[in-house]
Amino acid sequence: MNSEHVNDSAILTVTDLSRTFGGVKAVNNLSFSVSENNIHAIIGPNGAGKSTLFNLITGVITPNQGKIQLVNQDITSLRPDKIAEQGVSRTFQNIRLFPDMTVFETVLIGTYLLTGGKLLPAVFRTKHFRNKERQAKERIEEILKFVGLWGMRHEYAAKLSYGNQRRVEIARALATNPRLLLLDEPTAGMNQKETKELMQLFSEVNKQGITILIIAHDMHLVNTLSNQITVINFGEKLVEGPPEIIQSHPAVIEAYMGRAEVNA
């Protein structure tokens, strides 16, 4: 099935999405959909528009044209916090952690949404607020145990190994209870062991019923982890399908010919 057909099981549907920067068509008339519970990979050369696509989906930037739907809800141009509230969460291509926060504090920020984020209840510490706060802390414990960081909860997040910093980011993203998790090159710069362990984690996250949309440059990772791949180039969709089709697709091979690496 291609994206021109209606995808009944889609959690995310992107239609005719475009965004330019000056003269650059970073995302150009892009349409695709992500089926619920899939691990869907986005690959394409450097500068293909992959991170821009994530910025559009999460509301960090607004499109010039097109529509983004979460199940049946139009989330195009909603504010990032509103989109997060609807169940879309992400990690960044370059890890973004505050230098003086512990692992626990960093993930607590992720649950800020769940506690309502209102100032007055926090100041007066209403019973409702205290209940919410306790629930948030229990949830963080659960998440930190799940990602394997509970033992490091008091350490400064930014001082951890690169692989563990990525886990902190993933934990923070999970703390908002996402239905859809966007991962932008989560294993770039990781060693083989870290990559393997993160792949295992993504698979476990997915088994919890969270749909994953992942930008990845490691073809082995993409082929083993994902069940659907969308290849983009110059902001446009080149081809789409399951890994076994994509690997041997002439257009994909051609797009990557002569490039030093397949960089998604």
Return residues touching ligand ADP (CB under 6 A).
21, 24, 26, 44, 46-52
Whether the CB-CB separation of 101 and 157 falls below 8 Å is answered with: yes
Residue 48 binding: pick among ligand ADP, Mg ion, none (C-beta 5-8 Å cut-off by kind): ligand ADP
Residue least distant from Mg ion (Cβ): 51
Shortest Å distance, C-beta 215 to ligand ADP = 7
Task: Report the first-to-last Cα separation within the chain, whole angstroms.
Answer: 23
Given the structure tokens 């870290």, which residue do they identify? 194
CB closer to Mg ion out of 158 and 188? 188
Shortest Å distance, C-beta 63 to ligand ADP = 13
For 16, half-sphere exposure in the C-beta direction (CA atoms, 13 angstrom radius) is 4
CB closer to Mg ion out of 228 and 263? 263
Interatomic CA distance for residues 31 and 182, integer angstroms: 17
Grouping H, G, I as helix, E, B as strand and the rest as coil, residue 135 is helix
Size of the site for Mg ion (CB under 5 A): 3
**Per-residue contact string for residues 89-128; x = within reach of Mg ion by CB under 5 A:** ----x-----------------------------------
Interatomic CA distance for residues 94 and 70, integer angstroms: 25
Shortest Å distance, C-beta 47 to ligand ADP = 4
Shortest Å distance, C-beta 226 to ligand ADP = 17
Instruction: Tell me which residues in 184-213 interact with Mg ion (CB under 5 A).
Output: none
51 near Mg ion, rule: CB under 5 A: yes
Shortest Å distance, C-beta 198 to ligand ADP = 19
Whether the CB-CB separation of 188 and 93 falls below 8 Å is answered with: yes
| Residue spans of beta strands (DSSP E) within 120-235 | 180-184, 211-215, 228-233
Q: Which candidate, 77, 2, 75, places its Cα nearest to that of 35? A: 2
Residues that bind Mg ion (CB under 5 A): 50-51, 93
